[in-house]
Homo-oligomer: A and B are copies of this chain.
Amino acid sequence: MKNSKSNCPINQALEVFGDKWTLLIIRDIMFDGKHYFREMLGSDEKIASNILTDRLNKLEEFRILIKTKDAHHKQKNVYSLTNKGIDLMPVMVNLAHWSTKHREVSDKDKAHVMELVDGGQKLQDKMSTALREELKSVSLE
């Protein structure tokens, strides 16, 4: 509580996600299957490498993702969502859904989002399960 402006649930969330980049990183891992620093660095929004480093470290401190060593390449780190991170899926889906209704979004993205909204809990559960499997596989090392 010490470094908190308030313990209101919305504020508590914003102290983790209240910036332009954090949720994009989570999107990269959650929906785009990215796991490496360079993959995220290459995303459309062109995050700077120092900001990416900073956000990945913060997300690791918050235990929203974990960093593990790649088995086949000593220098590569594998970033995976924890359960705490995977639990953000409904937030992400609702945020994206709002955008499809009220912001400019391509038809392709729109269709992708509506699949997650209409497909409902079933598809989201399937995706969450897959992410939890990934998590299990890296946390065994």
Binding site secondary structure of chain A: helix
Interface size of A as a range: 35 or more
A18 in the interface (beta carbon within 8 A): yes
A9 pairs with B46, CB closer than 8 A: no
Complex CA gap A95/B18 in Å reads 12
Within 8 Å by CB of A5, from B44, B91, B94, lies B44
Q: Which residues of B contact A98 (CB under 8 A)?
A: 13, 87-88, 90-91
| A43 contacts across to B, CB distance below 8 A | 6
Q: Which residues of A contact B (CB under 8 A)?
A: 1, 4-16, 18-21, 23-24, 27, 43-46, 84, 87-88, 90-92, 94-106, 109-110, 113
